[in-house]
């Protein structure tokens, strides 16, 4: 049985569509940034901000809020879009992405925008930060949960494995890592550049509770999140299989769109394709 009602599920799916729409518009307006990853993670960010997180957009520093750590900071446009649609700041501000002095930089900066927990840039640091925050919350008897979103490429970083050991040693059951398993990095497929499989078995060997889901199935993803709350004395990792560029068929799975943005003409075409997908979602 799903933790989501049919209405909740539809709301998340429609918000994911709106987030994808915003991502394409803001990146086109900025003229630089990363497209494939944000489009691929739109369903998960919609689920996080509109179902999973215990948060208050109008009170972003609320002490009991869940913490969301974005390790692969280059996909931050999807987070900005989700935050704007959730009410953290006006939607119009999305068009300031990457501008000089903007609160919406190409990588998230904690001191610029309320609601960001960490500043990210160097890949591999997110899980260490999340584990430290999770331990600190437990020491302070704060029941908030910590969610760390990681790329699959940064599983190649040694510091990630140190964090895995640390989280396991301290039995951080208030920590859930979410890996965007889209199988690409900037120069090609992960398994050709530096293989990381068998990924699930590796986390299990470090005494993590490991779950694999379809990252575009919001019901399956939210179910996995909720089930993680019932796991004791072990952190959980959710390996979310996603399609980079999801929603725009001609760029789906193409690593060359990792760090590209569409031209104005391409953006119009991509937005039309998204509109067609929305019709399919609403008709289902």
Q: Which domains does the chain have, with CATH numbers?
A: 6-283 (3.40.50.970)
Cα separation, 8 vs 10, in Å, equals 5
- Are β-strands 175-181 and 146-151 bridged in parallel, bridged antiparallel, or unpaired? parallel
Model confidence at 278, in pLDDT bands (50, 70, 90)?
A: confident
Model confidence at 1, in pLDDT bands (50, 70, 90)?
A: low
Tell me the pLDDT tens digit for each residue of 188-214: 999 999 999 999 999 999 999 999 999
pTM check: above 0.95? yes
Q: What is the CA radius of gyration of the chain?
A: 18
Model confidence at 156, in pLDDT bands (50, 70, 90)?
A: very high
The mean pLDDT of 155-175, rounded to a whole number, is: 97
Q: What percent of the chain has pLDDT over 90?
A: 92
Helices 6-30, 218-228: inter-axial angle, 10-degree rounding: 110
Backbone region of residue 81 per phi and psi (left: phi > 0; alpha: psi in -120 to 50; beta: other values): alpha
* Tally of CB atoms within 10 A around 274: 18
CA torsion sign for 183, 188, 192, 195 is negative
Q: What is the tally of helices (H) and strands (E) in the chain?
A: 10, 7
* 109 pLDDT higher than 70: yes
pLDDT at 203: 98
Tell me the pLDDT tens digit for each residue of 14-56: 999 999 999 999 999 999 999 999 999 999 999 999 999 999 9
Name the residue with tokens 């446009």: 77
Taking Cα atoms as reference points, which of 57, 75, 9 lies closest to residue 222? Answer: 9
Q: Which residues touch 124 (CB under 8 Å, ≥6 apart)?
A: 71, 154, 157, 158, 159, 160
* Structure token digits, residue 264: 């104005």
């Amino acid at each position: 049985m799903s933790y989501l009602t049919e209405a909740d599920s539809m709301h998340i799916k429609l918000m994911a569509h709106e987030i994808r729409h915003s991502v394409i518009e803001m990146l086109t307006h900025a003229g630089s940034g990363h497209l494939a990853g944000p489009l691929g993670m739109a369903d998960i960010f919609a689920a996080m901000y509109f179902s999973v997180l215990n948060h208050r957009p109008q009170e972003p520093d609320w002490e009991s809020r869940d913490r969301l750590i974005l390790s692969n900071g280059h996909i931050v446009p999807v987070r900005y879009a989700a935050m704007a649609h959730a009410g953290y700041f006006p939607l119009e501000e999305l068009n300031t992405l990457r501008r000089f002095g903007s609160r919406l930089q190409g990588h998230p900066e904690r001191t610029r925008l309320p609601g960001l927990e960490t500043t990210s840039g160097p890949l591999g640091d997110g899980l260490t930060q999340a584990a430290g925050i999770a331990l600190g919350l437990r020491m302070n008897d704060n029941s908030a949960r910590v969610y760390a979103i990681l790329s699959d490429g940064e599983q190649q970083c040694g510091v990630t494995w140190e964090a895995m050991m640390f989280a396991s040693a301290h039995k951080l059951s208030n920590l859930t890592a979410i890996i965007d398993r889209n199988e690409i990095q900037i120069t090609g497929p992960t398994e050709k550049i530096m293989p990381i499989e068998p990924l699930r078995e590796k986390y299990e060997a470090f005494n993590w509770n490991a779950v694999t889901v379809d990252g575009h199935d919001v019901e399956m993803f939210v179910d996995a999140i909720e089930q993680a709350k019932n796991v004791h004395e072990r952190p959980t990792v959710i390996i979310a299989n996603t399609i980079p560029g999801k929603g725009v068929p001609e760029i789906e799975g193409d690593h060359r769109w990792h760090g590209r943005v569409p031209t104005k003409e391409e953006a119009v075409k991509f937005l039309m394709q998204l509109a067609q997908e929305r019709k399919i979602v609403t008709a289902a």
